[in-house]
Copies of this chain bind each other. A is one copy, B any other.
Amino acid sequence: MRDVFVLGVGMHRFGKFLSLGLKDLARVAVWDAIRDAGVDARRIGCAYVGNGLAGLMTGQEGIRGQVVLRDAGLGGFPIVNVENACASSSTAFRGAWLEVASGMCDVALALGVEKLSHESTAKSIEALATDADVEATAGMGIQFPAYYAMKLREYMAATGATTRDLARVVEKSSFNGSLNPYAHFRKPLSPDEVLASRLIADPLTLYMCAPISDGAAAAILVSAEVAAQRCAQAVKVAAVSLGSGRYRRPGEADTTVQRTARAAYEAAGLGPEDIDVVELHDAMAPAELMLVEDLALCEKGGGVKLLDDGTTRITGRRPVNPSGGLTSRGHPVGATGLAQIIELYWQLTGRAGDRQVKSARVGLAQNSGGMVEGDPAATCVSILVRD
């Protein structure tokens, strides 16, 4: 396999944009990425387009990528539309990586785009069902907060973490988000404000939960030869590992995130100790406490300690979610995974502005989507390295 590099990225700010459609969001991200990479758009050899819910939200079920890329003036190359719920665009990133890594092409476009806001909030929420046959019928598919609440209660019982600890995660991520011009929410929140917000599913309050957002994120992935033309802004993709929920295989205790992270570390030839900056899938912010453990970034039950000693703060040794994470940056399902990659890219190339972390060389992004039997249906762990 050949080395693959991210050479440029683009984003449409995340937020609630009732007047914008999929095409409007995608056009901005795609062309910002192309300009940023400094490649001729005619060199694009393929595109992977991640979207989660346009079928149910807008009726655009088929050829979503072709439709938005045509509007952006692009086409002719192979276009693969991929979907993996909230992990749709990290799956797109992996597809683009594999095309370049395998030698199929030298320049690949990965795009994630989602338009979730709707005059009817109920329509947005219904679209988030998991197994529509089973869960939607039973009213369960839309109960992600309830699922996270159950997991967090178990976690609190096992580790002694308090609801204030959960709120302190939001204090950290909302502060980071306040520094991010691409974030949906830019208000720093105190633990008291987080705890005083409406209870969603005990112990989760409103401000601990990711919002329903619109947005788009794109990246240009290239071969070493193309990257050499602008090596100052090339960031190597050291690993992109995709896993799916493990079911009917009793006897294995690890989660999909744990397994997928292990695979990514192995592929990158790196360990958790090498990671300088992390973007992780905090659809409910306090999940960060469990996820740093699943990613082997701390010992069992050590998530709160990382908050206490400042390790995961933006000024710490290993900042987590410098972008603000899903809760502050926002969560346009099919664009979230690439937004994480983009944040790492900006951090590793020193372009993160007010939220720039210090001397980061290796970044890790973890993006998960859907749910089967209590485990994410898809998890993608990517590791990026700036030489």
Instruction: Show the binding face of A for B, using Cβ within 8 Å.
Output: 1, 21, 23, 46, 52-53, 55-56, 58-64, 66-67, 70, 73, 75-85, 91, 94-95, 98-99, 101-104, 127-133, 136, 242-249, 369-370, 372-373, 377-378
Contact, CB under 8 Å: A58 / B1: no
Residue of B at shortest CB range from A249?
Answer: B76
Can you spell out 11 A-B residue pairs with CB atoms less than 8 angstroms apart?
Answer: A53-B61, A58-B133, A61-B127, A75-B249, A78-B244, A79-B378, A80-B91, A81-B82, A81-B84, A82-B82, A98-B104
Q: How far is the CA of A373 from the CA of B75 in the complex (A)?
A: 11
Residue of B at shortest CB range from A69?
Answer: B244
Contact, CB under 8 Å: A245 / B1: no
Contact, CB under 8 Å: A78 / B242: yes
Contact, CB under 8 Å: B63 / A247: no
Evaluate whether A62 and B98 lie within 8 angstroms (CB atoms) in the complex, with A243-B78, A244-B79 already known: no
Q: How many copies does the complex hold?
A: 2
Contacts of A133 in B (CB 8 A): 21, 23, 58, 60, 67
Q: How far is the CA of A373 from the CA of B73 in the complex (A)?
A: 12
Contact, CB under 8 Å: A83 / B56: no
Residue of B at shortest CB range from A72?
Answer: B248
Residue of B at shortest CB range from A81?
Answer: B83
Evaluate whether A1 and B103 lie within 8 angstroms (CB atoms) in the complex, with A52-B61, A59-B129, A246-B75 already known: yes
Indicate which residue in B62, B94, B127, B247 contacts A75 across the interface (CB closer than 8 Å).
B247
Contact, CB under 8 Å: A242 / B63: no
- Shortest C-beta distance, A369 to chain B (Å), equals 7
Contacts of A67 in B (CB 8 A): 130-133, 372, 377
Residue of B at shortest CB range from A23?
Answer: B133
Q: How far is the CA of A67 from the CA of B379 in the complex (A)?
A: 15
Q: How far is the CA of A98 from the CA of B73 in the complex (A)?
A: 27
Contacts of A249 in B (CB 8 A): 75-76
Q: How far is the CA of A242 from the CA of B64 in the complex (A)?
A: 16
Contacts of A378 in B (CB 8 A): 63, 66, 79
- Shortest C-beta distance, A65 to chain B (Å), equals 8
- Shortest C-beta distance, A289 to chain B (Å), equals 25
Contacts of A59 in B (CB 8 A): 56, 129, 132, 136
Q: How far is the CA of A127 from the CA of B61 in the complex (A)?
A: 8
Q: How far is the CA of A101 from the CA of B67 in the complex (A)?
A: 29
Contact, CB under 8 Å: B76 / A62: no
Contact, CB under 8 Å: A372 / B70: yes
Evaluate whether A63 and B369 lie within 8 angstroms (CB atoms) in the complex, with A91-B80, A242-B78 already known: yes
Indicate which residue in B81, B102, B136 contacts A102 across the interface (CB closer than 8 Å).
B102
- Shortest C-beta distance, A254 to chain B (Å), equals 11
Contact, CB under 8 Å: B85 / A63: yes
Residue of B at shortest CB range from A136?
Answer: B59
